[in-house]
Copies of this chain bind each other. A is one copy, B any other.
């Protein structure tokens, strides 16, 4: 089982069977200084004055041994590490992956590492994962919003705060005011989308909605209604379709084309839903992208292949903001919990052509 049996040159009385990595003691011995001096030099402390000779002796010794400090020791001393935990529902969704990109880049630049925890939408697993993060002594936890585990949040967040672990929630505003929160402004986004359709001359605009378990779909419906009302257009309940916020549902839009409730445009709460609906129309032979205008939400990768006008939420930026807020807190800046609503942006493509009557 033991492969490299090199009893490392006598500094311990017992023979070590596993290769031990050089410690700061080894560096100290080689440089002929004390362990404390090594620590002073290697952490470039400005408050300690070190002579140039010792400094270079230490540096040379560290180099020779290819010494790498053990972050665990540091963490044990300080009670916490330079590590943050990221609790993810599902990085299969590019929206979440992009949040992660933003988080990572900010944290990496600030010297923090990221421990990931994937809850797979299972509340049970989430509790496990949070515990794991705590045992790792992470300095903070970033929680990415998710329908399934949203109910678990309050319980562990309270505990985390009690244990001096900072928390920031991204893409969910249910803990708004209690912890730092970064969300996309869904009401504004829906206003952009529907306002755009109205400016194109559309008045019969259908709404393709989803589950309102999270605030996402609800807020987008609110924005939809706001935009209509702002332009003096009545909200017609017959034009509100869809019940689930899942891409595996097949919303049937044919009534909008042939039925008594004709529409000239559709605003959907997610690109997935809209894409699905377009596919269905196309599949049924009533491929009429030229008579029904579409605006989706989320600017997913596939949307440009459908020439789909949509709303960009800037998830990378959301991640960045969440990270930098946490970094601020971790570096001692205290403030009341802040909620940051990232403004979305309209991305115009061919699917939102002007109404024919125009």
Q: CB within 8 Å of B: which residues of A? A: 1, 3-4, 18-21, 66, 68-73, 75-76, 79, 81, 83, 91-92, 94, 97-98, 100-101, 104-105, 108, 113-118, 120, 125, 129, 131-132, 134-137, 159, 163-164, 275, 278-279, 300-302, 304-306, 332, 334
Chain B residues near A98: list those with CB within 8 A. 92
Residues of B within 8 A of A136 (CB): 71-72, 83, 113
Q: How many Å from the CB of A336 to the closest CB on chain B?
A: 13
Q: In the complex, A73 Cα to B81 Cα: how many Å?
A: 12
Shortest CB-to-CB span from A62 to chain B, Å, is 13
Residues A301 and B72 in contact, CB atoms below 8 Å apart: no
Residue of B nearest to A333 (CB): B1
Which 6 residue pairs across A and B have the least CB separation, nearest first? Answer: A302-B302, A72-B72, A72-B75, A72-B76, A104-B118, A97-B97
**Known pairs A305-B302, A332-B1; A76 contacts B79 (CB<8 A):** no
CB distance from A99 to the nearest CB of B (A): 11
Contacting pair A81 B92 (CB below 8 A): no
Given contacts A18-B164, A132-B113, A302-B302, contact A73 B76 (CB under 8 A): yes
Known: A68-B135, A70-B135, A306-B305. A120 touches B105 (CB 8 A): yes
Which of B72, B163, B306, B334 is in CB contact (< 8 Å) with A3?
B334
Contact check, B305 vs A279: say whether CB atoms are below 8 A apart: yes
Pair B118/A115 contact, Cβ less than 8 Å:
no
- What residues on B are CB-neighbors of A71 within 8 Å? 135-137
Copies of this chain present in the complex amount to: 2
Closest Cβ neighbor of A98 among chain B residues: B92
The 5 listed contacts between A and B (C-beta, < 8 Å) are A68-B135, A91-B100, A115-B115, A275-B305, A305-B305
Q: Are B118 and A101 in contact (CB under 8 A)?
A: yes
How far is A108 from B19 in the complex, measured between Cα atoms in Å? Answer: 27
Apart from A68-B134, A72-B75, A279-B304, what 9 extra A-B contacts exist at CB < 8 Å?
A: A66-B159, A69-B135, A72-B136, A91-B91, A113-B115, A113-B132, A113-B136, A279-B305, A305-B306
Known: A72-B72, A305-B305, A332-B1. A116 touches B135 (CB 8 A): no
Contact between A79 and B334 (Cβ–Cβ < 8 Å)? no
A118 contacts which of B1, B108, B164 (Cβ < 8 Å)? B108
The complex places the Cα of A136 from the Cα of B92 at a distance, in Å, of 27
Minimum CB–CB distance for A224 against chain B, Å: 24
Assuming the A-B contacts A19-B164, A302-B302, are A114 and B116 also in contact, with contact meaning beta carbons closer than 8 angstroms in the complex? yes
The listed residue (B1, B104, B125, B332) touching A334 by CB distance below 8 A is B1
Expressed in whole angstroms, the Cα–Cα distance for A304 and B91 within the complex equals 20
Chain B's nearest CB lies how many Å from the CB of A127? Answer: 12
Among the listed B3, B76, B104, which residue makes an inter-chain contact with A70, where contact means beta carbons less than 8 Å apart?
A: B76
Taking the nearest CB of chain B, how far is it from the CB of A84, in angstroms?
11
Contact A301 B18 (CB under 8 A): no
**B1 and A94 contacting across the interface, CB-CB below 8 Å:** no
Contact, CB under 8 Å: B79 / A163: no
Chain B residue contacts of A131, Cβ below 8 A:
68
User: Which residue on B lies nearest to A76, using beta carbons?
Assistant: B72
Contacts A68-B131, A332-B1; A104 near B116 (Cβ below 8 A): yes
Q: Is there an interface contact between A79 and B18, defined as CB atoms closer than 8 Å? A: yes
Are B97 and A91 neighbours in the complex by a CB distance under 8 Å? Answer: yes
